[in-house]
């Protein structure tokens, strides 16, 4: 599958490594330009591209940048993606890093709904509570009792199925965490955020979440 990854840091870099190793055709971009990604491209076989090129022809586009940088993504950054393409949003709002975002804190938009508004395209929220290193270190075959489960939220069932199938390929189980308006259940500071457990515990943690933003994650 052709996959575009926008953001080549902890998460984007490790998704590039694993998805390329699985045989996907990965294009990866950062803010500074493809020449700064030569080492990652050489290591993985992925193609380093400009951010405006990453989505070209892609069935899946991963947006994995600090939340404050989402509005800085070039206009039309998703143009040229394949018909019916799916966007995976891994991002989190850290007011200490991102500055205070009133639409999230005061108007109550979930972090992913805010991101959708800037991207102009629906997203599927996944990996936002996953330690980047776990993407490399913790894949296990389906059915292994130690397999970790990741919550996946999205409004479009077909898109969510596609993302869950990709995560299965990466060696993780998934739990359907509902729609994007409910995706506060997996935002920073919730019981499921950073939880390294299987389906049962992840399902329980999602159910125990409070919609009130934790004090540590308010600006
Ligand atoms: N680290 C984790 O374990 C973890 C876990 C789950 C979720 N997350 C979330 O996932 C997102 C990414 O986290 P990270 O730790 O991977 O971040 P990171 O290591 O800081 O990397 C951010 C990447 O985004 C790129 N970027 C920034 N602005 C851009 C722009 N305008 N156009 C294109 N690329 C741009 C940066 O490129 P340059 O370096 O060239 O500026 C860099 O490659 C964040 O929202 C974070 O909260 C992180």
pLDDT for the residue 102 = 97
**In this structure, is the dihedral angle defined by the CA atoms of residues 173, 176, 180 and 186, taken in order, positive or negative?**
negative
Residue 52 Cβ inside 6 Å of ligand 1? The answer reads no
pLDDT for the residue 164 = 98
- What is the pLDDT averaged over residues 68-97? 97
- Residue 145 Cα to ligand 1 middle (Å): 31
pLDDT band at 11, cuts 50/70/90?
A: very high
pLDDT band at 95, cuts 50/70/90?
A: very high
- Residue 66 Cα to ligand 1 middle (Å): 5
pLDDT for the residue 144 = 98
Q: Is residue 17 part of a domain?
A: yes
Q: Is residue 217 part of a domain?
A: no
- What is the pLDDT averaged over residues 206-215? 95
Q: Is residue 40 part of a domain?
A: yes
Instruction: With beta carbons less than 8 A apart as the criterion, state whether 87 and 119 touch.
Output: yes
Look up the CATH number of the domain holding residue 150: 3.40.50.720
pLDDT for the residue 40 = 98
The tens digit of pLDDT for each residue in 99-127 reads 999 999 999 999 999 999 999 999 999 99
Looking at the structure of the chain, the number of domains it has is: 1
Q: Is residue 218 part of a domain?
A: no
Burial of 143 (0-12, 13-18, 19+ CB in 10 A): exposed
Domain that holds residue 56: 2-212
């Amino acid at each position: 599958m052709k996959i575009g990854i926008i953001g080549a840091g902890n998460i984007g870099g490790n998704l590039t490594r694993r998805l390329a190793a699985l045989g996907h055709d990965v294009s990866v971009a950062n803010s500074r330009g493809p020449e700064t990604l030569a080492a990652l491209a050489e290591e993985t076989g992925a193609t380093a591209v400009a951010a405006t090129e990453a989505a070209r022809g892609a069935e899946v586009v991963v947006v994995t940048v600090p939340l404050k940088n989402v509005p800085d993504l070039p206009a039309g950054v998703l143009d040229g993606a394949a018909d019916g393409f799916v966007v995976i949003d891994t991002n989190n709002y850290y007011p200490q890093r991102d500055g205070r975002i009133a639409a999230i804190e005061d108007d109550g938009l979930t972090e992913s709904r805010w991101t959708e508004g800037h991207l102009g395209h629906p997203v599927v929220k996944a990996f936002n509570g996953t330690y980047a290193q776990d993407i490399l270190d913790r894949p296990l075959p389906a059915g292994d009792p130690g397999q970790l489960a990741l919550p996946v939220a999205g409004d479009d069932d077909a898109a969510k199925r596609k993302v869950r199938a990709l995560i299965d390929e990466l060696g993780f189980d998934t739990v359907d965490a509902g729609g994007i308006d409910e995706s506060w259940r997996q935002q920073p500071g919730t019981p499921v955020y950073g939880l390294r457990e299987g389906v049962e515990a992840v399902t329980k943690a999602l159910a125990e979440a409070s919609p009130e933003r934790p004090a540590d994650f308010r600006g």
